[in-house]
Amino acid sequence: MILVTGASGLLGSHLCYHLLKEGKNVIGLKRKDSRLQNTKEIFSFYNEEKLFENIVWEEGDILDYFSLQEIMKKHAVTEIYHCAALVSFERKDEHNLFKINIEGTANMVNLAVDFNVGKFCHVSSIAALSQPDKNDVVTEKVVWKSSPMHTNYSISKYGAEREVWRGMEEGLNVVVVNPSLIIGPGCWNQSSGMLISNAKKGIKFYSPGGTGLVDVRDVVKVMISLMEKNIFGERFILNSENLWFKEILTLPQLEFGNKEPGIKISKFIFRLGYRAERIMCIFNGKKPRLAKEFVKSGFEKVDYSSKKIIDKLNFSFISVKQSFQWTCKFFPSDKR
């Protein structure tokens, strides 16, 4: 049996589909308040709604070790894909970031060690990689250095990786993947899904930075391949292309027939807008869209290399343009 944490999220849902498609037995870990409608919707994108029924759903929390113990006692788990994590750039979420991403990962590692799980795949992030020297391309060899440029999310994902490597020292077979921004249909109110939702409305502003992007199908394919080939004790950057933020916003907007963003914002204007939005949210009760920590990453362009995984698996990535075309095709009609 294969246990997938974060099974109701974007990556976890696509992963569950592909595992089931290969005939694997999958246990999906979900919290009490998790909505399974997103996962059902993602299965429908593949025209495999009935396959969704093959997931064995278990209610648990990665912060509750004892609830996880009960699940492990109930099932003969041989592999774990740890996809669960909190992604936030809000200062108010600092405590939860460290709690969920570090302590939660530590619990999953301890669980795997205690129950002699044979294989453990940890989904990290390019955010867990240190900032490079100027103009350098980031590879798996980069050494973490403390920096004011690191967001709380980055630090929490780096801390999570340390727990995974600690598990390796205790005899656990682990492999770590560091995907860039994952693009794929589903979960339209989170992460890249929110990017698509905003692109449908039309975004006029862009920051001068940039980052890497990767298709969710590629991330899933690599994860499964690494586990099946028993490639352990290594980390792999998963990144299709490095693009400027203007390019990233333009691609989905063109799919919806919108114009590309034409107004470049400065750090000063962003901070002004951030403060103005915070004041407005006090009165209208809405959740702010701008995060102050975005200044740390939204105004820099960092390039990431996937050469290691390309050479290891002779792998070819789906282009970002193709990924956006595929993703936008499934954007809900009632949101258009």
pLDDT digits (tens, 9 = 90+) for 186-235: 988 888 888 899 899 888 888 888 899 999 999 999 999 999 999 999 99
How much is the CA Rg of the chain, to the nearest whole Å? Answer: 20
Kindly tell me the number of DSSP H helices and DSSP E strands found in the chain.
13, 12
CATH of domain 2-188+212-242+303-335: 3.40.50.720
Task: Convert the pLDDT of each residue in 142-187 to its tens digit.
Answer: 888 877 778 888 999 999 999 999 999 999 999 999 999 999 999 8
CA dist., res. 109 & res. 324, Å (int): 34
pLDDT digits (tens, 9 = 90+) for 266-281: 665 555 554 554 455 5
CA 218 – CA 201 distance, rounded (Å): 27
Highest mean pLDDT among 27-41, 102-116, 268-282, 286-300: 102-116
Rounded Cα distance between 242 and 258, Å, is: 23
Q: Place 284 in a pLDDT band, splitting at 50, 70 and 90.
A: low
Distance CA 100, CA 85 (A): 6
Residues 108, 83 contacting (CB under 8 angstroms): no
Is residue 29 a contact partner of residue 6, using CB atoms and an 8 Å limit? yes
**Contact assessment for residue 320 and residue 183, using Cβ atoms and an 8 Å cutoff:** yes
Question: What is the side-by-side strand order in the sheet with 174-179?
Answer: 56-59, 26-30, 2-5, 79-82, 119-123, 174-179, 234-238
User: 């991330």: which residue's tokens?
Assistant: 219
pLDDT at 122: 98
Lowest mean pLDDT among 62-71, 136-145, 241-250: 136-145
248 neighbors 151 (Cβ within 8 angstroms): no
> What is the four-CA torsion angle of 108, 110, 115, 121, rounded to 10 degrees?
50
Tell me the C-alpha distance between 299 and 208, whole Å: 5
| Least confident residue range of 62-76, 103-117, 131-145 | 131-145
Question: Is residue 94 scored above 90 in pLDDT?
Answer: no
User: Do residues 160 and 122 make contact, with C-beta atoms less than 8 angstroms apart?
Assistant: yes
Give the contacts of 22 (CB within 8 A, at least 6 positions apart). 224
Query: 261 and 206 in contact (C-beta within 8 Å)?
Result: yes
* Confidence check: pLDDT of 134 > 90: no
- pLDDT, position 277: 47
